[in-house]
Structure 1
């Protein structure tokens, strides 16, 4: 009897370009889901757009600063812990080393926007902090078998969810999420090329 292929096995069958397109497609799917669910949950789209506030003080102190601090802790952990504990099946390595730095910036912006619009803007606004944070962590299914990655994504999910809870500002969470993904993407790009 043969074993069921793991996500890592399936990802290995994809070319770098196919892997990249799968990421873009999944993020597009998140935006479509956010739009459809948002149609039912918001009385008017104006209610949704009020969640984007360009408060530079909040964006800096609750988005950028925590994002940089999270990346610094993550990089320290990457140095201290065995690589196998941070191994996501090679997805991040393949994804970030196969594209240019400007493309890393674009990809991480798309991810931050789509995930924050869905999980914080639509789900957390309407169903609360706990539901959004748990769903966000569960969507990162590739981390479920790696306890360090799982703990990291759960803490990150609740941390970003809390940032949104206290600011009610999607620009804060998008900034934090983008800062984390961008800096770690650049780190992977430089370190693993």
Structure 2
């Protein structure tokens, strides 16, 4: 975790954003390749019925708000050190405009949910997709509370996907979580995340 934090600390703002967007591009490439391997179609995830855009999207935003409220309550009552990811999230969001946080949150939510719910969960189930989601957030591996929180969040998003059968709803939830927490960091509500 410290290694990643040190790397991020030495990147310029432009390099940091390029790294984040490049990582998300790689996630879409992996999703496309995996979709081809598992379904025989490069964009098999697009043909799935889980692209419904209906009231479940509203529930996605509500789900995201509930997660953020829970996290803000936990931050208030638990030791601050439990939430310290080495300053990576602060570095990512602290000096961004609201528009940049919005766009970054949207891209991350779309790309990650496409791979983890749209491809991996569809092929391997909730448990495998959720555990892989938690593990790719490597900076949390050395922090037991953050890692457990990420696993619980991932399982929750996976269950929400099962209940709604809508990738848009899960993308909306993931976006809302990242966007609101990004704003909380940007405006000083969360200092060590």
Structure 1 length normalisation: TM-score?
0.90
* 2:133 alignment partner in structure 1: 136
Give secondary structure in 1 for the equivalent of 2:128.
helix
CA deviations over 1:61-101 (Å, ceiling 9, x no partner):
3x122210110011111222222211111111111112111
CA deviations over 1:7-50 (Å, ceiling 9, x no partner):
22222222232222111111110001101111222245466332
Which runs of no fewer than 5 residues in structure 2 stay unpaired?
Answer: none
* 2:144 alignment partner in structure 1: 147
Structure 2 distance, partners of 1:96, 1:77, is 20
Give every structure 1 segment of 4 or more consecutive aligned residues whose post-TM-superposition deviation is greater than 3 Å. Answer: 43-49
1:102-121 → structure 2 map (5 Å cutoff): 102-121=99-118
* 2:53 alignment partner in structure 1: 54
Structure 1 distance, partners of 2:92, 2:7, is 15
Distance 1:47 1:182, change over 3 A: closer
Structure 1 distance, partners of 2:58, 2:74, is 24
How many residues are paired up? 186
Distance 1:138 1:46, change over 3 A: closer
RMSD: 1.6
Structure 1 distance, partners of 2:127, 2:98, is 34
Q: Is 1:24 equivalent to 2:26 in the alignment?
A: no
